[in-house]
Amino acid sequence: MKFFAHGAVGAERLAVEADGAAYDLSALTGEAPALSPSFLADGGIEKVARAVADGTLPAVDASTPLPSSDDRPSDVRFGAPLAPGKILCIGLNYRDHAAETHAELPTEPILFMKAPDTVVGPDDDVLIPRGSEKTDWEVELGVVLGRTLRYAESPEEALDAVAGYVISNDVSEREFQIERGGTWDKGKNCETFNPMGPYLVTADEIADVQDLSLTLSVNGETRQDGTTADQIFGVGEVLAYLSLFMTLYPGDLVNTGTPAGVAMGIEGQPYLRDGDVVELAIEGLGSQRQTFRDAPAADAPARTRSEA
């Protein structure tokens, strides 16, 4: 199944694609604009699967475009499908990305965190922070927990706790991240710095999570073209590792790293500027498209694409 959210900011409606059809989830999720940790913890995915099988969910209006549409209309907005709990991120987890940044391969996963309020929809505008000269892109496989995980004894046990997968753009400001001292968090938590979606695809839909292609282009030029097979620490290994240091709960999101091709690693370092368009996709999970905009003045409200 593929969960998605569509509608104006704060008024999204949840739906699911299954067996070639799309169904409205309001009867099960109420007015929630995104899947919540409590919904996942309460067996929400299983409840939706039963309702689809029983034929009790109303179909989404046939005129409503779906995230899988080849050409999504510009006046239709898709929201992030999940309101995450924790957002945990793994740095330097692809061999080619470590090489392009001249970093040694890590012997343990590198961990940093993003705040849940960085999450926006997959096609919403992304704001370049005031004073930024080094805003960068990172296509990443996001992993969503479906049940509580503590002290996993194996990668296989950890994978059993996965509800599904999403696309994340782990947008980063490299000066804030690397040159300002302290931890990486300053360059990772700027407003709108985690576009997510359009789908949360349930784990059973992905045959091999370590064999997914990831691509990203800027203004039509391919910048990233990688595969999860190049991960230093596979998804199950990452989750098992994290569970030794903290409890992972339903709705937690783990961004698992990015392949080579970020601006920081390209000759000339073509960091993002106002008006640049970034498009990214992961096999089986859909695609995103963001326009990067200079952050507004302090007295002006931030705007998403749908409000621009």
pLDDT band at 140 (very low <50, low <70, confident <90, very high): very high
List the one residue out of 120, 50, 44 whose CA is nearest residue 79: 120
Contact 270, 136 (CB under 8 A): no
Residues 6 or more apart from 15 whose CB is under 8 A from it? Answer: 3, 4, 5, 6, 22, 23, 24, 25, 60
Contact 264, 272 (CB under 8 A): no
pLDDT band at 101 (very low <50, low <70, confident <90, very high): confident
- Domain boundaries 84-307, corresponding CATH code: 3.90.850.10
Torsion of CA 235, 238, 243, 245, to 10 degrees: -160
Contact 169, 290 (CB under 8 A): yes
**What is the average pLDDT across 227-249?**
98
**What is the average pLDDT across 166-176?**
97
Instruction: Provide the percentage of residues in the chain whose pLDDT is more than 70.
Output: 97
Range in 31-35, 93-97, 141-145, 188-192 with the lowest mean pLDDT: 93-97
Quote the distance between the C-alpha of residue 304 and its chain's center: 17
Contact 190, 127 (CB under 8 A): yes
Query: Based on the number of CB atoms within 10 Å of its own CB, is 204 exposed (0-12), middle (13-18) or buried (19 or more)?
Result: exposed
pLDDT band at 303 (very low <50, low <70, confident <90, very high): low
List the one residue out of 90, 61, 42 whose CA is nearest residue 233: 90
Residue 307 is predicted with a pLDDT of 52
User: How many whole angstroms separate alpha carbon 168 and alpha carbon 290?
Assistant: 12
Residue 61 is predicted with a pLDDT of 86
**What is the average pLDDT across 53-60?**
96
Residue ranges of alpha helices (H) inside 121-251 are: 155-159, 174, 235-242
Residue 71 is predicted with a pLDDT of 72
- pLDDT of residue 54 exceeding 50, the answer is yes
pLDDT band at 65 (very low <50, low <70, confident <90, very high): confident
Contact 305, 122 (CB under 8 A): no
SS3 call for 178: helix
pLDDT band at 69 (very low <50, low <70, confident <90, very high): confident
- In this prediction the pTM is 0.94
- pLDDT of residue 122 exceeding 50, the answer is yes
How far apart, in Å, do the first and last CA atoms of the chain sit?
A: 32
pLDDT band at 29 (very low <50, low <70, confident <90, very high): very high
- pLDDT of residue 128 exceeding 50, the answer is yes
**What is the average pLDDT across 13-34?**
96
Torsion of CA 301, 132, 118, 23, to 10 degrees: 80
Higher pLDDT, 104 or 222: 222
Range in 33-42, 189-198, 291-300 with the lowest mean pLDDT: 291-300
Contact 122, 286 (CB under 8 A): yes
Residue 306 is predicted with a pLDDT of 46
Largest separation between any pair of C-alpha atoms in the chain: 56
